[in-house]
Copies of this chain bind each other. A is one copy, B any other.
Amino acid sequence: MTPRMQRKKKKKKKAILDAAERIVADRGMAGMTMGEVADAADVATGTLYLYFKNKGSLLAAVNARLNHQVNIYIKEKMDLKKTGLEKVVAMGQATVEFFMENPQKWKAVTELYQMKVQDPHDPNVQDFLEVTNEMVQMMAQAYQQGIEEGSIRQDLDPVATAIYNRMAFGNAFTPTTEQKMLLEHNKITPERYLSVAWGLISHSTRGVLLEKKVKKS
B172 touches A114 (CB 8 A): no
Rounded to whole angstroms, the CA-CA distance of A24 and B23 in the bound complex is 26
Is A100 in contact with chain B by the CB < 8 A criterion? no
Chain A interface SS verdict (over half): helix
Q: Closest CB-CB distance, A33 to chain B, in whole Å?
A: 13
The residues in A between 106 and 133 inclusive whose CB is less than 8 angstroms from any CB of B are 113-117, 120, 128-129, 132-133
Rounded to whole angstroms, the CA-CA distance of A159 and B189 in the bound complex is 12
Most buried by B among A153, A156, A178, A183: A178
Is A165 in contact with chain B by the CB < 8 A criterion? yes
Residue-by-residue, is A73-117 near B (CB-CB < 8 Å gives 1, otherwise 0)? 000000000000000000000000000000000000000011111
Is A141 in contact with chain B by the CB < 8 A criterion? no
Residue-by-residue, is A192-216 near B (CB-CB < 8 Å gives 1, otherwise 0)? 1100110111011100100100010
Offer 11 A-B interface pairs, CB within 8 angstroms, sorted by A: A28-B116, A113-B176, A114-B114, A117-B177, A156-B199, A157-B196, A164-B200, A200-B201, A200-B204, A208-B215, A211-B211
